[in-house]
Amino acid sequence: MREILGRRRRLLSQGGDSGPELIEAALTFASDWRWPVLPGVAADPQGRSRCGCPDPECTVPGAHPFDPGLLAATTDARMVRWWWGNRPTAPVILATGGRAPCAVSLPAVPAARALDALDRLGMRLGPVVAAPDRWSILVKPYSLEQLGELLYAKDFVPGSLRFHGEGGYLALPPSGTGRGGVRWERAPLPGSASPWVPDVEAVVDAVVETLTRTGVSAPEM
């Protein structure tokens, strides 16, 4: 796994129990990289596998916006400091799309195999976010129309793929969620104002081809 050197090393933390690490990460995303973020709802302290939101059957426990809502996401450092000053262990949620990266995600086990296959093919990838159940490949922003045309041209698209575009969100490292910690599987390269990410077309083409090959499968989940 690539590593960020220097004072940003703590962005690679495995868990989200440290308030200082979370606020430093949130400030990096918002101020340095201009990615709009907001605090997510925390996992239920009475049962870490459950969400702190009112939905008893929440499918993304501790890994989604709630209060404030997604539209509040910002790159304003003062707001970020205020939010995490009041909620130091809140997960860091990226509002995908717009000027921020989007993402393509798939279940963790086939994702690991797919990344190995893409490495062998020489496919260049940007940051990859690894949650316990799903990995997300960050890509350049895309429109719904662009994604629709891309998928329409495919003979088959695995139902396990998810697309985090405009109006979507993604928990970023080093957040802790109801399913465990979020980490970088492929960390952003050091020294850039904003991490490089590939086009969605290149990633979807490569991932779909890889997942449909013999020996690399992704369950429909």
- Is 221 within a domain? no
pLDDT band at 138 (very low <50, low <70, confident <90, very high): very high
CA 157 distance to own-chain centroid: 21
Please state the domain count of the chain. 1
pLDDT of residue 150: 93
Q: Model-level pTM? A: 0.85
pLDDT: is 87 or 220 the higher one?
A: 87
Could you tell me which residue, 13 or 114, shows the higher pLDDT? 114
Element (H, E) at 206: helix 200-211
Least confident of 41-45, 68-72, 89-93, 132-136: 41-45
**Beta-strand (E) ranges in the chain?**
37-39, 92-95, 102-107, 128-130, 134-139, 162-164, 169-172, 176-177, 180-181, 183-186
Tell me what the mean pLDDT of segment 70-84 comes to: 96
State residue 176 phi and psi, 5-degree precision.
-105, 135
Return the structure tokens found at 71.
């539209």
3-class secondary structure for 130-174?
ECCCEEEEEECCCCHHHHHHHHHCCCCCCCCCEEECCCCEEEECC
In a domain, 80, yes or no: yes
Percent of the chain residues topping a pLDDT of 70? 85
Share of the chain above pLDDT 90, in %: 55
Long-range contact pairs involving 212-215 (C-beta distance under 8 Å, separation at least 24): 212/156, 212/158, 213/117, 215/113
- Convert the pLDDT of each residue in 152-195 to its tens digit: 998 888 888 999 999 999 999 999 988 889 999 999 977 667 89
44 lies in a domain? Answer: yes
Q: pLDDT band for position 53 (50/70/90)?
A: confident
Q: Give a yes or no: residue 173 inside a domain.
A: yes
Q: What is the pLDDT of residue 47?
A: 61
Full domain range(s) for residue 118? 6-52+59-211
Among 26-30, 95-99, 213-217, the least confident range: 213-217
Q: How confident is the model at residue 60 (pLDDT cuts 50, 70, 90)?
A: confident
Tell me if 31 is assigned to some domain: yes
Kindly state whether residue 101 falls inside one of the protein's structural domains: yes
The arithmetic mean of pLDDT across residues 81-107, rounded, is: 95
Domain presence at residue 1: no
**In this predicted structure, what is the pLDDT of residue 48?**
62
Structure tokens given for 214:
């013999």
Q: pLDDT at residue 75 above 80?
A: yes
* Inside any domain, residue 178: yes
pLDDT band at 59 (very low <50, low <70, confident <90, very high): confident
Greatest CA separation for the chain: 50
Beta strands 92-95 and 169-172 are antiparallel
Specify the pLDDT at position 178.
85
